[in-house]
Structure 1
Amino acid sequence: MASFEDWNRIVDDDDEELQDTSLYEGKRDVIMFCIDCSPSMLELYEDPRYEDVQTCKLFRALEAAMQIQKRKVLVGPNDSVGIMLFNTTKRNESGTAGADLKKGTYVYQPIATVNAPKVMELMQLLDEAREKPEKLAETFPPMTDRRVAVGDVFTSCNWAIRDGAPKTATKRIFFITDEDNPHPGAASSRLITSARTTLIDLVQAGVTVEPFFISTEEKPFDPSIFYSSVLLATNLTDSDEPGEDGQILPESISIGQIEELLAQMRFHEVPKRALFSVPFTLAPDFTIGVKGYGLITEQKKGAYRYFADLGDRMDVVNSRTAYVDEEREAEVEKTQILYGMDLGAPSAEAEEHVGDQAKDADAGTRSVPLGSRVFYTQDEVRSFRTLGLEPGIKLLGFKSRRALAFEDNIKHSVFIYPDEMTYSGSKRTFTALLKTMIKKKKIAIVLALTRRNSSPIFCAVLPQEEKVDESGWREPPGFHLIPLPFADDIRAAPLERGFRASDDLKEAARKFMDKLVVKNGSYPPDSYPNPSLAYHNAQLEASAFREEFDPEAFEDLTEPKYDLMHKRAGQLIKAWKQKLREDETANIVAAPVAGTKRKADVSVDEAEIRSKWEAGALNKLRVDQLKDFLKSKGEPVSGKKADLVERVSQWLQNHP
């Protein structure tokens, strides 16, 4: 199975796919699962999945961590994962990883590269806990007299990540708890300040905290009590000062039932990496920094790898591309290669000038003798493609929002967000521009070059206002960078006028469509994985963990729930079909366009041919009909009519 790095590997050195260095430095992902181990997390309740089985929130949290690790063994074998528990009296032994951490924290799995034996050890613990529900409470005794300060938890996470994570990796903490008020009392204000200061230290060290808060009907989770004052806000505001009105929790926050924990983690399993980080020039000498994020990415199967048998072990073969001069039979450096058009066999005189052109490659303009080829250096070819521009986005002007047509969106857009690290004040300027464009209902036209080896394109910048609905789904504020088509990118489609359904027919259709809407009115793609890819990964997972793969147990989440659909809207669909039969426009057949001819249908179905065969009248069929039948069955169609009749008769006899 190919590693996660291979999915993003840049084959050609010339194609500098992204300008953001995080693509190269952040290929490895580090996740530290920081799980609360308080008595409320260990409280037993009936498992809704199995009968007569008890479980607890800690069990479900560890199970979700195990599932994430199992997936990373396949799609991210170079990633690192660790598990740390807090609010427990269990301590790491002296000399082991985690022994010097804050009291009340315990490192169950030190941060290390994901491997199958470590995951199988966690699976064994969960199997024992499933048979004996008290196993987790015995293994990780909870603290009953007090709780560990959240600031100390963040400090322990910082130390654990510092000691075990690669410096250039993307580092994240999955913080899981069900307690919305960990420090009640007079010391709450001081502990909030301490926790926030420690969190800022984590962020400055390149660590992102993604909280997963567990809420129940008996104990709803209220983040405004403690965590809204601790977690850093990510919404765009005019002021960057913390604690101002309008500050909200990070967009990565998840508050839900314990049963939804794994699904929530799947949304955040893959780290968000910028496609590019370029300057956004608003005016001469007025530039801000922006990052671009892709909204749609196709996940594919990993490419196979070559292995070399060294006798005692199998090593991965690392391939590389080498350019060899056929005459000298020696490897040539890429900088010495020239590029030109291959327009046929060159003349002998033209070949003599190739060496002279290579010598004068850096001398500016070169004269090319008549009849010889034109060659260009690597830098010249790049300048042709980029028109001599450096990566960046340049504002050209503004237009009314109505000027952007639906058919102008021919490629996936890119979502851009301010980058405060490259240009100070980018967030404030970006916010002011966004609010003004939304207020005046304008779009911007820009010239964008996001990759050093790509061609500049004109784009429309569509502002998006922040939206929060009742279901909690949040659309972040920012701009959509929409590539605009050139004239030859659009083809005129033939327009054919069709019959319009009546209002009664539309109303009948709307009734059953309203019954079949997606939950919460939105489609979360992470909840419905590609069934082909999921089936492939399930087989690899069974092989990696030495389990027997059961194809019947595989569940295709994209398969519609037909029984539920018929139960909800079956009668409404029948009523709509009845109205459709009674509608006049549904029974009108449009006349074919004058001057067009259709080839006569000479095909005969299998039932008719079988009836002819049973009656002994296959000879009455035409040759083209016999050939069509044999071709549909994958049989040869050569020979005379008697041969075809005998072949059809033989096939029908073998397939009763």
Structure 2
Amino acid sequence: MADHWQDDTDEASDELQDFRFGGKDAVLFLIDATPPMHGPPSDGLDDESDPDTPQFSHFQMAIKAALHTLRTQILSSPNDLVGILLYGTQKHVGVDTFEHLSLLCPLSPPEAGHILRLEKILSQPDRFEDEFGTCDRFSLYDALWKSQTLFGEVQAGKIGTKKILLMTNQADPHQDQSDERRKAMKKASDLFHNHIYLDVLPLGPKFQMERFFKDLVQLADDDRADFGDPTVKMDDLLKIVRKRIHKKRSTGKVYLEFGPNMKISVNTYNFISKSYKPSKVKLAKDTNEEVVIQRSFFHPVTGAPLLPSDIKKYQDYGGKRIKLTQDETKAITMLDGELGMKIVGFKPLSSLKWGQYVRSSSFIYPEEKMIKGSRQVFAALLIKCLEKRVMAVCSFKARDSSGPSFVALVPQEERKDYEGHQTAPPGFHVVFLPFADDFRATPSVPMIEPEPEQLSAAKALVKKIKMKGYHPEAFSNPDLQFHYAMIEAMALERDDVDTPKDDTMPDMEFLAKKLQDVGRDFLESVYPDGYDPQASSTKRKAPAAKKEPAVKKTKTVDVDQEFDMGSYVDSKTVPKLTVQVLKDYLKANDIDVAGMKKAQLVDEVYRFFK
């Protein structure tokens, strides 16, 4: 199992300062523009494809994939770099030193002009022939050399990941040119030593990677083993490109400690993170420059400016203001304890209650560069936890400013689909466990036992509208998609806005056709005769005549004999109760609560149990 984490400890340097993490990601589309890529749309496509679906040449598919990437990155990762370099063009546009190379888009952050240029190439194929042209004369060595030069010319700060995505339908571009093949192989090896990763995306069903590109890619990335299948459909191409350029970003590196002088290093990842609309930026009306917001504090009496050391914070406790300095406030939030995870024991997986949800879980993977041998130890722990069906319980402190937590390391075995592609990675889910303060007492609500005919009607209803094949990736947030569509239309100066489809709204016509009499039978069996679901939501009419104001009744909560206040006192969780519950309990024990605030009510409860 350790092979899944690509153990390269023998070649790892003793210097651990350069992790090559962080910074901006850069991807360069290296697209074949030779005549075979511009062949008829039917070449290399499925015979059983839908005749109503528009067909594209392989070059158009590559351009559409690059366009889709630009549209995605300009919203999700606007600081990342995306470029497009063509080889096999009759003219050399944007490139001075090499023949038959053209720079369609420079390696820079995505811009609206780049999107408009690609859209014009797709909508006006003759425009490409006039501006660039196509030919069979090219050198893949020159294309790779120019690609490396483009990465070296970037002046946009630190670059985290550099990747070349080569898209072609020619399996052996230099089949009769041994010198060109040798030079391309040598340049691929140079790319690897400069931390530039080469990835080939084959187009067409008859593409054979073994003829040339398999050796080329392995020279550029010696850990690469899976090359995927040739792509023939546009939807499949977009999915593959999105997967190839995606960077797995670690949320942090921590130590996993087993005991004294025994620990390994791991990376933490988030599988799911809520997407938000980008924050608004205020601009000056006259200059259109970003407004800088500054905040200053002044003495309320003298008006003199206050330094951070002159300001204190306080916390109410027992009717008094407990003052704290800035350092004392910081010390309270930091607490004591070392960063990282410490295993405190193991428990069966069956003891984990999935209903005790605190926050979204994370995922950990071994990190070999900080501590050598972490992969082997991590794999051994994972295998044994899977065999014994246990989870590791750990104390976890992610950073200095965060408080300690208890987490459960839930093992996950690697899973693959029928084609051998990984669907679930091997590792541990970091499930956050609740503290005693996190539990809430749920109210006891009496349930009405339904009649047998009501159960039968409900069962028939559920069976009729049961969802098949649901997957969250099939549904996009309509609010976000409409926001992005508006921004894109304004940036590209378009008059019409393509309103995205709201997939969260049910198809009422389809449901009515599918349910037929089942829905009516359910309503008739559950609700009384003459029930109108719209009547409950309509606004009530005002009374005809004004009546005397009714005396406002105080809302009370019954504290019966089964209410166990002693358990809250023992666990020190009395402050979690509401003010009304505290008042009702004290009144039931003949204690005057007039004018008391919550803190005083809590003190009275503790005083009552002394």
Q: TM-score, normalised by structure 2?
A: 0.69
Given the superposition, is the C-alpha separation of residues 524 and 332 from structure 1 closer, same or farther in structure 2, using an over 3 Å criterion? Answer: same
- Hey, what does 1:272 align to over in structure 2? 248
Is 1:286 the counterpart of 2:262? The answer is yes
Is 1:334 the counterpart of 2:318? The answer is no
Do the aligned partners of 1:401 and 1:441 also contact (CA within 8 Å) in 2? yes
Matched residue pairs, number? 517
What is the deviation of 1:517?
A: 2.6
1:163 to 135, 153, 156: 153
Distance in 2 (CA, whole Å) between partners of 1:319 and 1:289 is 40
What is the deviation of 1:126?
A: 2.6
Is 1:113 the counterpart of 2:109? The answer is yes
- Hey, what does 1:144 align to over in structure 2? 136
2:362 to 397, 402, 414: 414
What is the deviation of 1:559?
A: 5.0
- Hey, what does 2:226 align to over in structure 1? 249
Do the aligned partners of 2:414 and 2:424 also contact (CA within 8 Å) in 1? yes
Distance in 1 (CA, whole Å) between partners of 2:309 and 2:66 is 48
Between 1:192-201 and 1:424-433, the stretch displaced more is 192-201
- SS of the residue corresponding to residue 249 of structure 2 reads coil
- Hey, what does 2:331 align to over in structure 1? 383
What is the deviation of 1:288?
A: 2.3
What is the deviation of 1:459?
A: 0.3
- SS of the residue corresponding to residue 394 of structure 2 reads strand
Distance in 1 (CA, whole Å) between partners of 2:244 and 2:502 is 22
Q: Within 5 A, what are the aligned runs for 1:127-206?
A: 127-129=123-125, 132=126, 135-136=127-128, 139-142=131-134, 144=136, 148-149=140-141, 153-164=143-154, 166-173=156-163, 175-179=165-169, 181-182=171-172, 194=186, 197-202=189-194, 204=195
Which runs of 5 or more structure 1 residues have no equivalent in the other structure? 1-19, 234-240, 347-371, 591-600, 608-624, 643-656
- SS of the residue corresponding to residue 445 of structure 1 reads strand
After superposition, the C-alpha distances for 1:312-347 in whole angstroms (9 at most, x for unaligned) are: x3111122444444455444443554433256998x
Distance in 2 (CA, whole Å) between partners of 1:195 and 1:501 is 76
What is the deviation of 1:398?
A: 2.2
Distance in 1 (CA, whole Å) between partners of 2:409 and 2:218 is 28
- Hey, what does 2:275 align to over in structure 1? 299
After superposition, the C-alpha distances for 1:157-209 in whole angstroms (9 at most, x for unaligned) are: 3321221252324444361424484468796996896466345324x3xx565
Do the aligned partners of 1:228 and 1:249 also contact (CA within 8 Å) in 2? no
User: What amino acid does structure 2 have at the position aligned with 1:410?
Assistant: V
What is the deviation of 1:377?
A: 3.5
What is the deviation of 1:445?
A: 1.1
Distance in 1 (CA, whole Å) between partners of 2:246 and 2:300 is 46
Given the superposition, is the C-alpha separation of residues 588 and 549 from structure 1 closer, same or farther in structure 2, using an over 3 Å criterion? Answer: closer
User: What amino acid does structure 1 have at the position aligned with 2:399?
Assistant: R
Distance in 2 (CA, whole Å) between partners of 1:528 and 1:274 is 26
- Hey, what does 1:465 align to over in structure 2? 413
Over aligned residues, Cα RMSD in angstroms? 4.9
- Hey, what does 2:69 align to over in structure 1? 68
What is the deviation of 1:414?
A: 0.5
Distance in 1 (CA, whole Å) between partners of 2:303 and 2:430 is 48
Distance in 1 (CA, whole Å) between partners of 2:414 and 2:533 is 59
1:484 to 423, 433, 436: 433
What is the deviation of 1:296?
A: 1.3
Do the aligned partners of 1:183 and 1:191 also contact (CA within 8 Å) in 2? no
- Hey, what does 1:37 align to over in structure 2? 33
What is the deviation of 1:448?
A: 1.0
User: What amino acid does structure 2 have at the position aligned with 1:401?
Assistant: L
Is 1:556 the counterpart of 2:502? The answer is yes
1:517 to 421, 444, 468: 468
After superposition, the C-alpha distances for 1:30-66 in whole angstroms (9 at most, x for unaligned) are: 3322223344422221698997977422223223322
User: What amino acid does structure 1 have at the position aligned with 2:481?
Assistant: A
- SS of the residue corresponding to residue 447 of structure 1 reads strand
Distance in 1 (CA, whole Å) between partners of 2:337 and 2:227 is 36
Given the superposition, is the C-alpha separation of residues 242 and 84 from structure 1 closer, same or farther in structure 2, using an over 3 Å criterion? Answer: closer
Distance in 2 (CA, whole Å) between partners of 1:190 and 1:466 is 38
Distance in 1 (CA, whole Å) between partners of 2:145 and 2:384 is 41
What is the deviation of 1:227?
A: 5.6
Do the aligned partners of 2:386 and 2:411 also contact (CA within 8 Å) in 1? yes
User: What amino acid does structure 1 have at the position aligned with 2:434?
Assistant: P
Do the aligned partners of 1:173 and 1:209 also contact (CA within 8 Å) in 2? yes
- Hey, what does 2:372 align to over in structure 1? 424
Is 1:395 the counterpart of 2:343? The answer is yes
Distance in 1 (CA, whole Å) between partners of 2:192 and 2:109 is 27
Distance in 2 (CA, whole Å) between partners of 1:410 and 1:265 is 35
Distance in 1 (CA, whole Å) between partners of 2:86 and 2:531 is 71
Given the superposition, is the C-alpha separation of residues 427 and 189 from structure 1 closer, same or farther in structure 2, using an over 3 Å criterion? Answer: farther
What is the deviation of 1:529?
A: 2.0
- SS of the residue corresponding to residue 28 of structure 2 reads strand
User: What amino acid does structure 1 have at the position aligned with 2:117?
Assistant: E
Given the superposition, is the C-alpha separation of residues 475 and 232 from structure 1 closer, same or farther in structure 2, using an over 3 Å criterion? Answer: farther
Do the aligned partners of 1:60 and 1:259 also contact (CA within 8 Å) in 2? no
- SS of the residue corresponding to residue 358 of structure 2 reads coil
- SS of the residue corresponding to residue 501 of structure 2 reads coil
Do the aligned partners of 2:172 and 2:213 also contact (CA within 8 Å) in 1? no
User: What amino acid does structure 1 have at the position aligned with 2:69?
Assistant: I
- SS of the residue corresponding to residue 284 of structure 2 reads strand
Do the aligned partners of 2:34 and 2:136 also contact (CA within 8 Å) in 1? yes
Distance in 2 (CA, whole Å) between partners of 1:421 and 1:71 is 32
Given the superposition, is the C-alpha separation of residues 74 and 387 from structure 1 closer, same or farther in structure 2, using an over 3 Å criterion? Answer: closer
Distance in 2 (CA, whole Å) between partners of 1:33 and 1:376 is 55
What is the deviation of 1:287?
A: 2.6
Which runs of 5 or more structure 2 residues have no equivalent in the other structure? 1-17, 548-610
